[in-house]
Structure 1
Amino acid sequence: MAASGQQHPDYPDTHLLQRLADAHGVGTSFHGWDGLPHSVAPETLIKVLAALGVPAHTNQLIEAALAEVELAPWRRMLPPVVVVQQGGTALVPVHVRDGATARLTAVLEAGAGEPVEAVQQDIWVPPQDVDGLATGRATFAVPPGLPLGWHTLHAESDGVTAQGALVVVPARLTTADSLAKRRGWGLATQLYSVRSKRSWGIGDFADLADLAALSGARGADYVLVNPLHAAEPVPPVQPSPYSPSTRRFFSPLYIRVEAIPEIAYLKPRKRATVERLQEQVQALNHDGERLDRNTVYAAKLQALELLYHARRSPARQAAFDEFCEISGSGLDDFALWSAIREDLAPEDPLWNDPDCALGTPEGETLREKLADRIGFHRWLQWICDEQLANAQEAARRAGMRLGVVHDLAVGVDLSSADAWTLRGVLAPGVSVGAPPDMYNQLGQDWNQPPWHPARLAEAGYAPFRNMLSTVLRHAGGIRVDHVLGLFRLWWVPAGNSPRDGAYVKYDHEALIGILALEAQRAGAVVIGEDLGTFEPWVRDYLAARGILGTSILWFENDGDSPLPPERYRTKALASVNT
């Protein structure tokens, strides 16, 4: 036993531990809602670092990890991704055998132009010994005139090649500029509660189109809806739209069944079955106190199964095939999860069995075995896409400047599709939450796995991009819940109380840049829900990048007095409540 006042020899040195935490973007302290600094316990730092894949429970491990922080970039010929603002110059390090020549080329995305040679800069960096090999660094400048988009960097030296993503993003998102000249107003609604006589017991995409048409005709510029992310593929379903199964794909619960063209070709007996199911759940429209999602979803799925097997015209089949091709492996993997989840509970050991993970022989066997069910879930997403397109078209036809504004949840459930299909870019053993604040002094644990910052970058931010491009495909805007999470997130290690967490930083320049790029391409505005505890400069940064803020009536005050509307922020969405 160590003498009193001495640190146990096997317990890590606090200073070393904090250095390692800083190197990996883990906050060792933070300012709470009370304005006071709070230190993060060493035990919490060790757990958070473990979630990042960095063992830190002894001094020896910490020293080795600190050395690896220095050497890790030198082990790669190229960074996995470089994000640069349009008009700016990106300096790209290329690691080669010391003394060897190197070449770097930017290959632009399809249709954007010819490859561009990067220019080597006169920047000398001392070589490093990397596993016994003297390694040098050549620094190249990517020219500032490249177009917006997802490009590719190719490096070559001594016959060795490497490639990485080059993402050119807007310095400032311009899609909200017209709103500065003339303010707009709109409606915010929970779509499931927007029922009409034709609804199947719950508001749906057709109701959204009607609401947009009605409000647009009266001068509204947008309809902001709750997150429409998919939940479980079969009932019972998670009632909260902020704890979804995926943030990329949509909930078939909102499909208007009779709006699917193939209903016209059902045989009379099957058509009668659909009408009977419709009549049963339409009776729920008269219950103003309760929404029975599970009964509605069960009825809709039964009807949708009949429509899925109806013969499609060649044009319709071609449209479905094109949708599947554009959506790629992400849709295939989500559909596989949905097909498996139909029969397996979330606590089934298969979900954590590495032998059954995506890409394994067993996983591919499941894909072959469940091919028809996978096809069904792909088809459901196609129908969602079509009906969302109709809703946005109705909104713009009615004169709305924006149309449908989607809400992007902070994360997904721990037992969700994204948690399984995107496991490689999510951090294990932790969940997202919030530190104590004046409303909840115990802190919060939202039971949602966070992005792993380094692994997301290693993937070239593709999962983040794919999520955004899908949500924005038929949208005039997107509200990003807890946009502060693109700067840092409060990680709560498993077994800890929510207050015993730590902030982990993200590359906000990259994430905000990609968000702006995808929104610019979609012609959509971005609204950041920037409430809560945050660093003072964050709101100014978001405004400078063209992202609107959020002002809530109840929070807009000057001490004990409410602020008059003319003193609200001008570049923000103002509403009565959240």
Structure 2
Amino acid sequence: MGLEKLLYLQGVGAEYIDCHGHHVQIAPSDRTGILASMLAKANVNKANVNTEPLNLVDPTSSLALTDPTITASTISDKTFSLDVAPWLSLLPSFQFCYLTHPVILIYLPEQAAEIAFSLTLEEGAVTPSGQTEFEWLCHTQNLAIIGEYHHNNIRYCRYQVNLIDYISETLPLGYHQVFAQNLSHNSAVSELESASGTLMIAPKTCYQGVMMDNSLSPVKPTNGKEIAEHSQFGNAKLWGISIQLYSLKSSNDPLDGIGDFKALKQLIEFSAQQGADFVMLNPLHALDIANAEHCSPYSPSDRRRLNPLYINIDELLDSNASRIEYSELDVNLNHIKLINYKRVFEYKYKVFVKSYELFCLEQQANSTERYKVFNAFKAQQGHALSTFCQDQMKHAPEWLSMPADFYAYLQFVAVEQLTDCQQYCLSLGMKIGLIGDLAIGAILQGNEVQSQIEQFCIHASIGAPADRFSPSGQNWGLTPLDPIKLKQHNYCHFIDLMRSNMQFYGALRIDHVMGLLRLWWWPLSKTLGNGAYVYYPLDTLLAIVCLESQRAKCMVIGEDLGIVPPEISAAMQQSQLLSNQLFYFSQHHDGFIAPQQHKLHSLMMLANHDVAPLKGWWQGEDLHIRDRLALYPQPQQYQDELRLREKERYQLLQWIDSGLTTLLKTDLTIPSELNELAGQIATLFASNTDNALSMLKLDDLSFDLLLDAWLMVAATSQSGLFCVQLSDLLADKHCINIPGTWKSFPNWQRRLSKSIDHVKQDKQVSQRCQLIAAARHQAACLKKDC
């Protein structure tokens, strides 16, 4: 039981339910391999941690299943530290409670003892009467025992201190400091005489904003004081447009090589004019400066920093000054199809260098107000920004020889411009504004992992077990946070991640939200087996998400696509994280789920970056690409997928037919063309009573009209939020990303065929937006019975 107990304490799973509903036992050797990965130490030169960028750690050196990492002594020591030691400290270093039931937990041997407490509120936090500190005494005989542990013939008890018995005021949310001292002076347990730690007081739910049902009564905690926490959605049926920001074109200028914050502002203006309440973005995290071609926004170098390539250079320099000589490349950066990241990087960083030099000459030299704001930004960001900048300087190309302050300047400008974009959304009347995206992990060689290496497991990477689409499983090449080390460091990095991302947005989508409960780990060393699930402290992480969400006034969406354990679904509902539905996956045995049966507390997306756009799906473009790239293990699988897609196309027509029939019964005005389409579909069904239509007959239908109907019916979704890709409004068929490929397909490189100016002038796009807006309004009215 020694090894098995340690596996449990470290969170290494033993079993799971796979995508087919089968119960899978994880092989003991795979579990032990993950344990070896967790226990292996990183060779970090601690002398350099605070002064220089870290040297990259080799995570695969000399690790094997026979490695002495897992010895009897190690098992004993680790088990003691994780299982016994927490009971031998008066206070945990980090604990949380909810605002509605504020408590402190202490650990003591069973005894009659008097405990002195002091509680110091987080800096800037005060109670309604202005207090920031509290002191009180309590006796263990007046405390409830809510847990026990026997060690060395001593019964250790977990006591619960109800704060409302000692503090009459409502305590504020936040990270507060607690100090406890045992006044009984029991020499037998001297190590328990005093301790200090962090008490996080959290709300039970995430920020709901405009989605909140204001008709509900406030929740009343046990002390009778009202707290504004609501638990249900209101009648809002909001919609928005999603975009891969790099793909946007603000103009046809030859040097407009990548979508940036200028293009985003133009899209914001267009979206607001169409009645949209949000613009949803891909992750904007900083990428690997040493490898510009590594362009996946889901493989960041540091999720706390922004990618400078999104900076609008027209705001840095006047239009004439920004046109630096670029004849040596002799290339049109504004490629009609694909982004040349290397050349875009070179061009934009040359502009950045010129801009920084002007900044130093004009702002720094004269100590202007803007320069003071820049210094305040650096001071506020502190050591974390300094480490990032040193890392950028160390790994930048040789031709880019700039000081660390240059990279701080780029972050300063990027933060400024993105913040301005969100404010622009709100000024135009959008109810949410920007929805950001937080990637599930970061690359090993990036600054985030290397600067916080003691909180990551650098000997493993995260991904997913085998499923229908990936028979061998998926390895995303991202380094996992270690749940044990995360706890030992009082969750500081996770808190920083939430805070640094939520500051920019009206809502934040958390990619692969199941990672709050468990992540599939692959050992980097091939000798350590085939991976296993590793579990995380879900309740604590969710409490942090809720607190940071309320503080930033940022709604939270959990991307819960794939294998979703029931614990996650229940926790998301309780914490009011919105679910993330994807139209293609919203099916039952008879076909696609009716819009009125979609999850209320959710974001419904018609398509996203990992699946084909609507036209590409209809034409089977994604299947053809996978076949050309030999991604099907067996040729028969391709034929099976084609037959399945044909069946799904038929089911889509049934779904559209049913949806149009429902809409025709309302007072919503349906364009005559869609009435005609409904008639065509009815005729097709009448002439094919065997529930099958040939591909040719389906292709006789006008896809443009089919797309209009698809968008309109989908927009009647019961979901609180509804999202459509700009590429789908343009009826683009090209895939953004083909999972499982890298160099064989131009993932994350394709640009939209039309600039924002052309989008604004495209009457068909505007008409589709009008259909969506009308359908969303109708859905809201149906809910309110108006």
The interval holding the TM-score normalised by the smaller chain is 0.7 to 0.9
Residues 328-370 of structure 1, C-alpha deviations (whole Å, 9 max, x = no match): 22111111211111269xxxxxxxxxxxxxxxxxxxxxxxxx9
Q: Once the 2 structures are TM-superposed, how far is the Cα of residue 110 of structure 1 from its aligned partner? A: 2.4
Q: Once the 2 structures are TM-superposed, how far is the Cα of residue 174 of structure 1 from its aligned partner? A: 3.7
Q: Does 1:164 align with 2:218?
A: no
Q: Residue 244 of structure 1: SS of its match in structure 2?
A: coil
Q: 2:172 aligns with which of 126, 131, 147?
A: 147
Q: Does 1:289 align with 2:345?
A: no
Structure 2 residue identity aligned to 1:105 = S
Q: Once the 2 structures are TM-superposed, how far is the Cα of residue 180 of structure 1 from its aligned partner? A: 3.1
8 Å Cα contact 2:286-2:300 kept in structure 1: yes
Residues 152-198 of structure 1, C-alpha deviations (whole Å, 9 max, x = no match): 12233479653322111111124253473221000110000011126
Task: Quote the residue 2:708 is aligned against.
Answer: none
Residues 93-131 of structure 1, C-alpha deviations (whole Å, 9 max, x = no match): 24599877532322111232222346554356889778x
Q: Once the 2 structures are TM-superposed, how far is the Cα of residue 23 of structure 1 from its aligned partner? A: 2.5
Q: Once the 2 structures are TM-superposed, how far is the Cα of residue 455 of structure 1 from its aligned partner? A: 1.5
Alpha-carbon distance in 1 for matches of 2:109, 2:118: 15
Q: 1:43 aligns with which of 29, 42, 51?
A: 29
Structure 1 residues 545 and 136, CA gap change in structure 2 (3 angstroms): closer
Q: Once the 2 structures are TM-superposed, how far is the Cα of residue 420 of structure 1 from its aligned partner? A: 0.6
Alpha-carbon distance in 2 for matches of 1:97, 1:316: 60
8 Å Cα contact 1:411-1:449 kept in structure 2: yes
Residues 27-57 of structure 1, C-alpha deviations (whole Å, 9 max, x = no match): 1111212222222222222222233338774
Alpha-carbon distance in 1 for matches of 2:423, 2:104: 42
Task: Quote the residue 1:389 is aligned against.
Answer: 419
* Deviating more after overlay: 134-143 vs 144-153: 134-143
8 Å Cα contact 2:87-2:149 kept in structure 1: no
Task: Quote the residue 2:14 is aligned against.
Answer: 28
8 Å Cα contact 2:121-2:133 kept in structure 1: yes
Task: Quote the residue 2:64 is aligned against.
Answer: none
Q: Once the 2 structures are TM-superposed, how far is the Cα of residue 523 of structure 1 from its aligned partner? A: 1.3
Task: Quote the residue 1:192 is aligned against.
Answer: 246
8 Å Cα contact 1:96-1:157 kept in structure 2: no
So what's the TM-score if we normalise by structure 1? 0.84
Residues 539-572 of structure 1, C-alpha deviations (whole Å, 9 max, x = no match): 1320221110011111111114111111111111
* Deviating more after overlay: 60-69 vs 235-244: 60-69
Q: 2:116 aligns with which of 103, 112, 115?
A: 103
Gap regions ≥5 residues in structure 2: 41-67, 127-131, 165-169, 186-192, 213-232, 609-786
Q: Residue 406 of structure 2: SS of its match in structure 1?
A: helix
Task: Quote the residue 1:427 is aligned against.
Answer: 457
Task: Quote the residue 2:771 is aligned against.
Answer: none
Alpha-carbon distance in 2 for matches of 1:143, 1:521: 22
Give aligned-pair identity as a percent. 27
Q: 2:134 aligns with which of 112, 116, 120?
A: 116
Q: Once the 2 structures are TM-superposed, how far is the Cα of residue 90 of structure 1 from its aligned partner? A: 2.8
Structure 2 residue identity aligned to 1:172 = T
Structure 1 residue identity aligned to 2:202 = V
Matches within 5 A, 1:272-351: 274-277=322-325, 284=332, 286-310=334-358, 311-312=362-363, 314-342=368-396
Q: Does 1:223 align with 2:223?
A: no
Structure 1 residues 375 and 99, CA gap change in structure 2 (3 angstroms): farther
Q: Residue 206 of structure 1: SS of its match in structure 2?
A: helix
8 Å Cα contact 2:333-2:344 kept in structure 1: no
Alpha-carbon distance in 2 for matches of 1:30, 1:210: 46
Q: Residue 434 of structure 2: SS of its match in structure 1?
A: strand
Matches within 5 A, 1:350-429: 373-429=403-459
Q: Residue 513 of structure 1: SS of its match in structure 2?
A: helix
8 Å Cα contact 2:148-2:158 kept in structure 1: no
8 Å Cα contact 1:98-1:135 kept in structure 2: no
8 Å Cα contact 2:105-2:160 kept in structure 1: yes
Alpha-carbon distance in 2 for matches of 1:280, 1:120: 79
Q: Once the 2 structures are TM-superposed, how far is the Cα of residue 71 of structure 1 from its aligned partner? A: 1.9
Q: Once the 2 structures are TM-superposed, how far is the Cα of residue 428 of structure 1 from its aligned partner? A: 2.6
Larger Rg: 2
Q: Once the 2 structures are TM-superposed, how far is the Cα of residue 235 of structure 1 from its aligned partner? A: 5.0
Q: 1:214 aligns with which of 260, 264, 270?
A: 270
Q: Residue 274 of structure 1: SS of its match in structure 2?
A: coil
Structure 1 residues 127 and 466, CA gap change in structure 2 (3 angstroms): closer
Task: Quote the residue 1:480 is aligned against.
Answer: 510
Structure 2 residue identity aligned to 1:170 = P
Structure 1 residues 61 and 465, CA gap change in structure 2 (3 angstroms): closer
* Deviating more after overlay: 554-563 vs 71-80: 71-80
8 Å Cα contact 2:278-2:431 kept in structure 1: yes
8 Å Cα contact 1:444-1:498 kept in structure 2: no
Q: Residue 219 of structure 1: SS of its match in structure 2?
A: coil
Task: Quote the residue 1:366 is aligned against.
Answer: none
Q: 2:5 aligns with which of 19, 38, 42?
A: 19
Q: Does 1:505 align with 2:535?
A: yes
Matches within 5 A, 1:219-258: 219-258=275-314
Structure 1 residue identity aligned to 2:279 = V
So what's the TM-score if we normalise by structure 2? 0.63
8 Å Cα contact 2:36-2:70 kept in structure 1: no
Residues 468-502 of structure 1, C-alpha deviations (whole Å, 9 max, x = no match): 21212121110111001011111111234998211
Structure 1 residues 404 and 449, CA gap change in structure 2 (3 angstroms): same
Alpha-carbon distance in 2 for matches of 1:278, 1:48: 50
8 Å Cα contact 2:560-2:580 kept in structure 1: yes
Structure 2 residue identity aligned to 1:116 = F
Alpha-carbon distance in 1 for matches of 2:115, 2:522: 44
8 Å Cα contact 1:174-1:520 kept in structure 2: yes
Q: Residue 596 of structure 2: SS of its match in structure 1?
A: helix
8 Å Cα contact 1:98-1:137 kept in structure 2: no
Structure 1 residues 285 and 232, CA gap change in structure 2 (3 angstroms): same
Alpha-carbon distance in 2 for matches of 1:73, 1:241: 39
Task: Quote the residue 2:208 is aligned against.
Answer: 175
Structure 1 residue identity aligned to 2:535 = K
Structure 1 residues 120 and 482, CA gap change in structure 2 (3 angstroms): farther
Structure 1 residues 142 and 82, CA gap change in structure 2 (3 angstroms): farther
Alpha-carbon distance in 2 for matches of 1:497, 1:221: 51
8 Å Cα contact 1:78-1:95 kept in structure 2: no
* Deviating more after overlay: 97-106 vs 196-205: 97-106
Q: Residue 238 of structure 2: SS of its match in structure 1?
A: coil
* Deviating more after overlay: 249-258 vs 493-502: 493-502
Structure 1 residue identity aligned to 2:134 = V
Q: Residue 477 of structure 2: SS of its match in structure 1?
A: coil
Structure 2 residue identity aligned to 1:258 = D
Structure 1 residues 111 and 462, CA gap change in structure 2 (3 angstroms): same
Alpha-carbon distance in 2 for matches of 1:316, 1:397: 24
Structure 1 residues 339 and 87, CA gap change in structure 2 (3 angstroms): same
Q: Once the 2 structures are TM-superposed, how far is the Cα of residue 430 of structure 1 from its aligned partner? A: 1.0
8 Å Cα contact 1:102-1:138 kept in structure 2: no
Structure 1 residue identity aligned to 2:584 = W
Matches within 5 A, 1:441-520: 441-496=471-526, 500-520=530-550
8 Å Cα contact 2:34-2:528 kept in structure 1: no
Structure 1 residues 174 and 64, CA gap change in structure 2 (3 angstroms): closer
Residues 387-410 of structure 1, C-alpha deviations (whole Å, 9 max, x = no match): 001111111111110101110001
Structure 1 residue identity aligned to 2:294 = Q
